[in-house]
Amino acid sequence: MMMSVNPMLLELDGVSKHYGGVAAVDLCSFSVAERSITGLIGPNGSGKTTVFNLISGFSKPDAGQIRFDGKVLNGMAPGSIYRKGVSRTFQMARIFPRLTALENLMVPVRRKGLQGLIWGYKGVGEVEAAREMLHKLSASHVADELVGRLSYGQRRLVELGTLMMSHPRMVLLDEPAAGVHHSVLETLSRYILDAQGDGVTFVIVEHNLNFVMDICHHVVVLDRGRTIAEGAPDDIVDDQVVVDAYLGD
């Protein structure tokens, strides 16, 4: 439904990535509509995380084109892609363990000029913004805890909050539900839907199909590095090709 209304924010066009002789991603093509939540699913080893790495610049595609908002991302460094508004999380939540949750959230805040650099980061509205973000993630009570001491689920929330502090246009979530307690999952779903309402686009790699089917508008199925099906969640569950891919051959 969204696809027809919104322009495509992210487009992958015949993208391939080989490791040695093995094709991790093989002529993969799909598109993500602006302000949508797109699920990227597929059996283990189908190339989902590799696709994330390619989009976010952590590895370079061998062939094909990746366009974000009409501009080609191929070959750009992760930092540059991030500045274009594409953020990602990692399977093992990557946070700054020896900083507090609040400090974690303030790391990506951009500071201009020498004054911005020298001035204490605890001033000028940054703290308020960070607290607000933690509140939205139902994590206010851990604001001053070192993140290294938090549980896995809480770290994932902090990781997501850190990314959201710099107002990305598109967020790639790598298995956000894995190993996370269902209560945190509820917070996460609610937060994602809110942010999407505010105009953020999400792409989610996830094994938890219930989670995907609940919140995604559009689902792309990968198998052995190729797109084998895409469509609305309800259509995908009935798709024989997808069932075969998951059950194995």
Partner 1 sequence: MTRRLRIAGWLLVLVASLLFPLVFTNPATLSIALVTLMYVGLASSWNILGGFAGYISLGISAFFGFGGYAFAITLHAFNVQAGYTPFAWLPLIGVLTAVVAIPLGWAALRTRQAVFVTVTIALMLVIQLSAENLVSITGGATGYGFPIPNWSAAFYYKPFYYAMLTVVVVSIAVAYVVRRSGLGLGLLAIRDDEDKAEAIGVPTKSYKLAAFVISAGLAGMIGAIFAYSVLYIYPQNAVDPLISMGAALMAFLGGAGTLAGPVLGALILAPAQTELSYYVNGQLYLILYGALFLAIVRLLPRGIIPSIGDQLRSRSSRHVDLLEHDGHHVEGRVDADDVKVMEGVRE
Binders of partner 1 among 131-190, rule CB under 8 A? 138-139, 141-142, 145, 148-155, 162-163, 166, 178-181, 183-184, 187
Q: Is 208 in the site for partner 1 (CB under 8 A)?
A: no
Residue 96 beta carbon to partner 1: minimum distance, rounded to whole angstroms: 4
Contacts of 179 (CB under 8 A, 6+ apart): 152, 153
Q: Which of 44, 117, 128, 197 binds partner 1 (CB under 8 A)?
A: 117
One character per residue 62-101, x = contact with partner 1 (rule: CB under 8 A): ----------------xx--xx---x---xx-xxxxxx--
Task: Tell me the three state secondary structure of residue 33.
Answer: strand
Render the burial of 35-50: b for 16+ CB within 10 Å, e for the rest.
bbbbbbbbbeebbbbb
Structure token digits, residue 90: 């990692």
Report the alpha-carbon distance of residue 54 to residue 151 in Å, rounded: 29
Q: How many residues bind partner 1 (CB under 8 A)?
A: 51
Q: Is 121 in the site for partner 1 (CB under 8 A)?
A: yes
Complex with partner 1: residue 60 or 149, whichever CB lies closer: 149
Complex with partner 1: residue 22 or 77, whichever CB lies closer: 77
Task: Tell me the three state secondary structure of residue 45.
Answer: coil
Q: What are phi and psi of 136, to 5 degrees?
A: -60, -30
- CA-to-CA separations, 192 to 38, 61, 157, 184, 224, in angstroms, rounded: 12, 29, 11, 12, 28
Residue 174 beta carbon to partner 1: minimum distance, rounded to whole angstroms: 11
**Residue at token pair 């913004």:** 129
Which span (44-52, 112-120, 215-223, 231-239) binds partner 1, by CB under 8 A?
A: 112-120
Residue 188 beta carbon to partner 1: minimum distance, rounded to whole angstroms: 11
Report the alpha-carbon distance of residue 230 to residue 226 in Å, rounded: 11
Q: Is 19 in the site for partner 1 (CB under 8 A)?
A: no
Structure token digits, residue 212: 């995907």
* Pairing status of strand 226-231 against strand 71-72: unpaired
Q: Which of 14, 75, 116, 199 binds partner 1 (CB under 8 A)?
A: 116
Count CB atoms within 10 A of the CB of residue 137: 23
Q: Which of 1, 5, 60, 122 binds partner 1 (CB under 8 A)?
A: 122
Complex with partner 1: residue 20 or 79, whichever CB lies closer: 79
Residue 143 beta carbon to partner 1: minimum distance, rounded to whole angstroms: 12
Q: Using CB under 8 A as the criterion, which residues of the chain lie in contact with partner 1 when the complex forms? A: 56, 78-79, 82-83, 87, 91-92, 94-99, 103, 106-111, 116-122, 138-139, 141-142, 145, 148-155, 162-163, 166, 178-181, 183-184, 187
